[in-house]
A and B are shown apart, each in its own frame.
Chain A
Amino acid sequence: MKDRRDFLKTALTGAVLLGTQAKLGLADVPTKPASLGHQDQYTHRIEPGKSRVVIARDPALHTSSGQLDEKRVLELLDRAIASYTGRDKPTDAWKHILPQAPDKVIGIKTNGLGGKGISSHAMLAFAIAERLQWAGIKPGNIIVWDRFARDLEACGFTINTDPSRVRCFGSDVSGFEDEPVAFGAAVNVKLSKILTRQCDMVIGLPILKDHSMAGVTFAMKNMYGVVQHPDQLHGGGCNPFVADLNCIPAIREKVRFTIGDAMTSVYDGGPGFHPERLWQPNALIIGEDRVALDTTAWQLLERKRSEAGLPTLEAAGRPPRYIATAADADHKLGFNKPEHINLVEI
């Protein structure tokens, strides 16, 4: 872990730079962007034409017995958000990220398909839910969700629909829209009603994994969990399906922030749980630009594969081509070129 001085330096730098663009804070972004261009959607920029991505690490995140240290997870989340927003106090930082109206419903979309061994960590979701409440969100206005209840239970959650507490349930409870939507090749898509009818904003909580078809699964691929039949979107290495799916307005407009779980990852053999290919990056990767986030996550995964003596994903026949597709002129979901990504590592 970098020392406190390094952290403050990074955070303060962010604060100064962001201070010059205070009016561009995420809280000021209209619910529905006027257009789908790059310039309109992403607000936390150090400079125009760049997207900010923060990788926050803590090498001591796991205890000697291999369990996550709850206190350190919360601290890591706070450091990441502080660095991203330039606001040192968690409450201020979260208020900067969230919609201004306190009665808004915030969803936290996890990925529990990998089962107990390689799913979004419940501990991180709990930490986010706690900070959302600090920022004034009512407990019942927080929904932790995934496609199926069993996916959530695999992450360690207990299903709860009591509106007086943080809610947690799957789309199998809420159901899916009868009316399909489409964008490009992603046709006949039936979206979860949790996304379309209940959430005003969604925070993506994906887990970084190698993927046998897509190459990498992280911010954008996590959206496969909001549709009824993701099996129809896996052809061609999931390209252009991942990009097309993320262009569907309800996803594009509501999923406005990602707190990527890279505390534990699988660098080969994914997306299932392969204990012999597990890896502990001990990191969170956060930001608004889902393309920049996936680009960053891909690079991280490639570095680990190289260290392990494995071929690149390109050489393995499964490069995540959907990332470049998502950045192209037809999609404009974000940036994938390094010169357009302001990567802050703390």
Chain B
Amino acid sequence: MIFRSRELMIATIVIGIIAIAVLTGCKKKTNDPFPASGAIAGWEKTGDTRTFDAKNLYQYIDGDAEQYISAGVITTSTADYKYQGALEAVVDVHTMSAPGGAQKIFDTNRASDAKIVPLGDAGVALAQSVVFRKGPYLVRIVAYESTPATPQALLALAHGVEGKL
């Protein structure tokens, strides 16, 4: 390729690098919203991430799949975590086709006694769970037992996930 000026060549290269960085960055964020072990204090990722598309989502959440499909789910990814080697939790990240889908699921399933927490576009917490939405993402984090440390530990993990969306 022949460039008419050195400046034009540099500009082309810079734009190309930025484009690649943006595209690569977006792809990475979409594929991996799960914090690695140790990224959030006390939390260890204990299993592989499993991803389901709308067609096979029933394999993971049975009849619940229908409400996600009708709200435009594209994929659901899930991974198990453990806090300080004891408290087990699961993180589900539902990627919807549009923010409205995430909002629909969030509003439909919101427990009346849930506490509002500052996460994403909207977030709520209960003793053993945190749910929030951010753009087209709906995230649900659930612990399998209730301990005094559970609420804060879940919130910390939720912030970790939010930061990767």
Contact = CB atoms under 8 A, between A and B. Distances in A.
A301 to B, nearest CB: 15
A213 B127 contact: no
Contacts of B65: 231
Interface in B38-93: 58-67, 88, 90
Contact of B127 (A113, A212, A276): A276
B153 to A, nearest CB: 14
A272 B64 contact: yes
Most chain B beta carbons < 10 A, residue from A66, A230, A273, A275: A275
A117 B142 contact: yes
A333 interface: no
Contacts of A116: 88, 90, 144
Interface string A109-152: 00001111100000000000000000000000000000110000
Nearest to B140: A272
A275 B127 contact: yes
Nearest to B59: A148
Contact of B58 (A214, A230, A238): A230
A272 B64 CA distance: 7
A275 B128 contact: yes
Contacts of A272: 61-62, 64
Interface in B95-117: 109, 111, 113
A212 B63 contact: yes
Contacts of A214: 63
A40 to B, nearest CB: 32
Contacts of A273: 142, 144
Nearest to A271: B62
Given A66-B145, A269-B109, A231 B67 contact: no
B155 interface: no
Contacts of B58: 230-231, 234
B143 interface: yes
A333 to B, nearest CB: 20
A212 B88 contact: no
A212 B129 contact: no
Contacts of B64: 212, 271-272
Contacts of A276: 111, 113, 126-129
Interface of A: 66, 113-117, 147-148, 211-214, 217, 224, 230-231, 234, 238, 269, 271-276
Interface of B: 58-67, 88, 90, 109, 111, 113, 126-129, 142-146
7 contacts: A66-B145, A116-B88, A116-B144, A224-B62, A275-B129, A276-B111, A276-B128
